[in-house]
A and B are shown apart, each in its own frame.
Chain A
Amino acid sequence: MKTRLRLAAVPFLSARPLIYGIESGVLANELDLIVDSPQGCVSLLTSGDADLALLPSVCLRTLLLDPGLDLRIVPGVATVRTTSMHASDDEPLLGPLPGSVSDWCEQHGLPFVSALWVGRNGAAGWQHAELLAQSRDFGLAHLPDIAAAQAKHKAGFAARYQAFLASSMTYRLGAQELSGLAALLDQLGRAEGSTVSVRPRFFDLAYTSTCEPAAARPRRERGGAAKSLDTLLAAAAAGERLAPDQALRLYTKAPLLDLGRAADERRQALHPGNVVTYIIDRNVNYTNLCVTACKFCNFFRPRKSPEAHTLSRLELAHKFSETVAMGGIQILLQGGVNPDLPLTYYEDLFRWTKSNFPLALHALSPEEISFISRLENLPIRRVLERLVAAGLDSVPGGGAEILDDEIRRRISPLKCSTDTWLAVMREAHALGLRTTATMVFGFGETPEHIVAHLDKLRALQDRTSGFTAFICWPFQAEGTRMRLADDTTAGRYLRVFALSRLYLDNFPNLQVSWPTMGPAIGQVALRFGGNDFGSAMIEENVVSQAGAVWMLSAEDIERQVRAAGFVPRRRNMRYELLAHPVAPPSATHTPPERRPATSAPAGAVSPTSPSTPARSLW
């Protein structure tokens, strides 16, 4: 391995903070730097004269599509235009795109990643990523110097430059930034008339490294552990990272509304536009045959059961075209863990889906992926690569339940372990797949288990930024083989939910779970830290088999969101805002098919099935 890394970087002011540590010689004995124009940097990278280049994102797409280059991204570090930029700092987009940066941010609801470090696969290791993060941190600590140098070099005021660098830019490649980058790459593709989706991959770093940005490192508590609850809540509301013991105190001691209010403030800071998003997708369970046999599940059928069934292509085609007709953009496809289905089954299914329907595939939870890997005796990464090649777009975060092996052994002994669940997610993120994360509580776990679960998710997110959203819900007990003390009522849900918003400071989105909690508490949870109303579901089979029977249309969702004081917007899986196809609701509301505006028939498969009394006990 080369001892010195050769770097190329663009000369823009906005990029300066990333390279200032190198330029000023602090880290120069390990890194060589050439500053050149964007074209110059691209040439240096493609010719092999530079190992890594800091390139504008608008010139990345072509490079990423070049199989000869096999480019990877350095995680954690980028230059980003924030959504709250100062108007006078706005500028036209580079490249072939119309409009300005702020137009772009507003339209997509995501930050605009303007430049990031890329290089050939294998060109950099974790120690390099760490150096680049250090350089960035050094630059951030010396913004006045950077601004002064710029003022000297060009006409202008240092204070003005400094304000630009400090308030219109950020320098972290977090989860929202990854979504912004993906949205930009897709848009660039569309501008060229291409529908090929580019999924930028990261350098394959050892994920045990400590290259997460400084801002995300836990802060030491000043004045020992004796912070009052109020101080703790105020700090968390302001975005300070909570330590596990602090979270535990908040969870067990803070009054519900105090916790909720802090979470509400945090949500407001993360999503200042007052937008609450939702998606239209369909939950399709391709098989109910499952060998995992979790005690809390009422959906699965064992292999010998006459009711065990795997959907045919015809059944799937029917469901998929219905979804498209109802404005759906995605299929959430999950099993059953069915040992009769080899990897090729999924590859064929995905290819068939992609060539016949304009639908994204949010498919196969970690449990299914790890099962396929064991079945096929292939590494998890290889399974994921083949699924991605066949059309997999993202991975749902189901099956996490409580990430604690003792509890998992008790409730779902055959399900993948905590480490495996996290490993699948880590591999998926490294391949550029985005995923969600979940938690199901009410299995007799302790508050410590809940905090530990959140901590595991937050730690992985620090390294990958691959999670787009977190969703939690109480275990739905009805008819399952578990007779647990029911500890899962609304108060506990709101408490867990608000705590999650505060603890998961690196998760941009928190989805409320109205399918399990009902629309009323789902809506109230928007005031306890939630910024997403989930899915206008066309179908749901699993929790509805265990007593959760709610069903809301897009119109119902928009009404709930508005009544809570928010602006409803549709999104895709990466939380990019979509153009609004629905006219604002008229003054009167017509409940479709006279079903309750807030509830729906048990076991309904279509929103228009005849009404039977809906039921929700807890």
Chain B
Amino acid sequence: MGAMRFARIRDKVCAGEPLDREDGLALFRHPNLIELGQLANEVRERRHGQRTYFNRNMHINATNVCLASCRFCSFARTKPGDEGAYTMSLDEAWGRLRKRLAAGDPITEIHIVNGLNDGLPFSYYTELLAGLKRLAPAVHLKAFTAVEIHFFAQHFGMAVPVVLQRLRAAGLDSLPGGGAEIFAERVRRKICADKCDAEQWLDVHRTAHGMGLRSNCTMLYGHIETDEERVDHLLALRALQEETGGFQCFIPLAFHPEDNDLSRLPAPTGVEDLRTFAVARLLLHNIPHIKAYWVMLGLKTAQTAQWFGADDLDGTVQEERIYHMAGADTPERLEVRELVHLIEQAGRVPAERDTLYNVLAEGEALRSSRPYRRPKPLRQEVEA
């Protein structure tokens, strides 16, 4: 890209004008990574100053039995009897939370994402939520991707609004942003033919936003998609946000090639990760937050992403299965002091948030009185 083009984009960004498709493409192809990062960082600092957000959360992946056979997935098993297939009993799932509560862990959010398991009744999901709410009424339940909601609607013969209402009545507070992958039909046919299409995904979020539920959004990058398809994906998210304003946060998800049908593809590299963050920050002017999901990126890249547009590092996370089964070599959880350290070492100010981005504690208040010690390394168990 010529210096002229970049200068024009810079002017638009400084004036707060939305960038167009051509701008997006130019940014994905801009050779000067640091220049790109600087511009994204300007936007990031304008919006969030030196703050980097995180929360105290846990993950529950209640079942990995899944009707869909997405080629990038290492988590799903197609049948209950398959090796490594599991479905938690409700008590098991609740037990995960009980364990955290017993340990005195002040989590504020539970993130629930599952396979599309046709062997479970709808009551499994409502009871899952209701049980968790009973155990911890103040904990925010961010549960079920648009793909799952769409599946519930089809499988249980209900309209999407009804599904959402019933889940909400059981305790649902917001939706995670997964399952968006890449909206382009060409790509979905090849990598996730069984998943709902772009319109259906967007429609679930539109409906949720209309009911006053907030949600996040994602993009799975670094597999077979083109720059154009990435830009179009981001613009589709931006258009819905223009309409509803319901997205809180965008999370770029890097494709992990371990143990899935696309293992022949190389994983995206660090430079590509940082570039994606920067472009997303610049294109998605109406989505407040860009999250560097450390589980997927690795701690070092997540830390660096704070200079390339990201203002959120997700949370403490426990028991993440999906990325770890795809070969993520990150620990399964971080202590708050580790997240604080990671953020402060990037020269940012850590801010603990709740799911809706209310700041609960900030800066000094998050420092423990003890000096930082690197904790003993976790020997993670990755199932073969």
Give the B-binding residues of A (Cβ under 8 A).
Answer: 255-258, 260-261, 264, 477-478, 483-487, 489-492, 494, 517-524, 526-528, 547, 559-560, 563-565, 588-591, 594, 596-599, 613-618
Contacts and interface: CB of A to CB of B under 8 A. Distances in A.
B382 interface: yes
A591 B259 CA distance: 11
Contacts of B346: 256, 489, 491
Given A518-B298, A564-B269, A618-B299, 9 more contacts: A256-B347, A260-B34, A490-B304, A491-B304, A521-B304, A597-B257, A614-B329, A616-B298, A617-B299
Contacts of A477: 374
Given A485-B371, A491-B304, A524 B327 contact: no
B328 to A, nearest CB: 10
Contacts of A258: 38
B14 to A, nearest CB: 17
8 contacts: A261-B34, A483-B373, A489-B299, A521-B270, A524-B271, A589-B266, A616-B298, A617-B331
B269 A257 contact: no
B373 A485 contact: yes
A560 B257 CA distance: 16
A515 B140 CA distance: 40
A70 B351 CA distance: 68
Interface string B22-33: 000000000111
A523 B271 contact: yes
B142 to A, nearest CB: 26
Contacts of B274: 524
B298 A590 contact: no
B301 to A, nearest CB: 5
Contact of B258 (A522, A565, A596): A596
B377 interface: yes
Contacts of B382: 613
- Majority SS of interface residues in chain B? loop
Query: Which of B257, B273, B329 has the most chain A CB atoms closer than 10 A to its own CB?
Result: B329
Query: Which of A260, A494, A613 has the most chain B CB atoms closer than 10 A to its own CB?
Result: A613
A615 B347 contact: no
A598 to B, nearest CB: 6
B207 interface: no
A438 to B, nearest CB: 20
Contacts of B226: none
Contact of A492 (B31, B329, B345, B373): B345
B183 interface: no
Interface string B297-313: 11111011011000000
A559 B300 contact: no
Nearest to A562: B269
A484 B377 CA distance: 14
Interface of B: 31-35, 37-38, 41, 257-259, 263-274, 297-301, 303-304, 306-307, 327, 329-331, 341-342, 345-347, 371-374, 377-380, 382
Contact of A491 (B41, B303, B330): B303
Nearest to B256: A596
Contacts of A560: 269
Query: Which of B34, B341, B373 has the most chain A CB atoms closer than 10 A to its own CB?
Result: B34
Contacts of A559: 266, 269
Contact of B300 (A256, A478, A618): A618
B269 A563 contact: yes
B141 to A, nearest CB: 30
B374 A527 contact: no
Contact of B270 (A520, A613, A615, A617): A520
Contacts of B269: 519-520, 523, 559-560, 563-564, 598
B265 A589 contact: yes
B264 A588 contact: yes
Given A518-B298, A564-B271, A486 B341 contact: yes
Given A257-B34, A491-B346, A521-B304, A616 B329 contact: yes
A264 B371 CA distance: 35
A257 B371 contact: no
Contacts of B34: 257, 260-261, 264, 527-528
A520 B274 CA distance: 10
A527 B271 contact: yes
B230 to A, nearest CB: 15
Contact of B377 (A597, A599, A615): A615
A563 B271 contact: yes
A433 to B, nearest CB: 35
B38 A618 contact: no
Contacts of B267: 596-598
Contact of A589 (B264, B347, B372): B264
Contacts of B380: 613, 615
Given A518-B300, A590-B264, A618-B300, A524 B331 contact: no
Nearest to A613: B382
A617 B380 CA distance: 11
Contacts of B270: 518-524
A563 B272 contact: yes
Nearest to B301: A520
Given A523-B271, A617-B331, A489 B345 contact: yes
A599 B300 contact: no
A591 B263 contact: yes
Contacts of A494: 304
A599 B33 contact: no
Nearest to A599: B329
Nearest to A522: B270
Contacts of B330: 616
Contacts of B266: 559, 589, 591, 597
A477 B377 CA distance: 10
A524 B304 contact: yes
A588 B263 CA distance: 10
Given A588-B264, A590-B264, A614-B329, A489 B298 contact: no
A524 B277 CA distance: 14
Nearest to A585: B266
A263 to B, nearest CB: 9
A489 B257 CA distance: 25
Nearest to A526: B271
A105 B301 CA distance: 37
Contacts of B38: 257-258, 261
Contacts of B347: 255-256, 491
Nearest to A616: B329
Contacts of A618: 299-300, 374
Contacts of B301: 490, 520-521, 524
Contacts of B33: 524, 527, 564-565
A487 B304 contact: no
Contacts of A589: 264-266
A53 B38 CA distance: 53
Contacts of A528: 34
A184 B33 CA distance: 37
A269 to B, nearest CB: 14
Given A257-B34, A257-B41, A563-B269, A596 B304 contact: no
Nearest to B258: A596
Query: Which of B259, B300, B347 has the most chain A CB atoms closer than 10 A to its own CB?
Result: B300
A489 B342 contact: yes
Query: Which of B35, B270, B347 has the most chain A CB atoms closer than 10 A to its own CB?
Result: B270
Contacts of A261: 34-35, 38
Nearest to A565: B31
A520 B373 contact: no
Contacts of B268: 563
Closest 9 CB pairs of A and B: A520-B270, A490-B300, A486-B374, A563-B269, A491-B346, A589-B266, A261-B34, A489-B345, A523-B270
Nearest to B34: A261
Contact of B257 (A255, A526, A591): A591
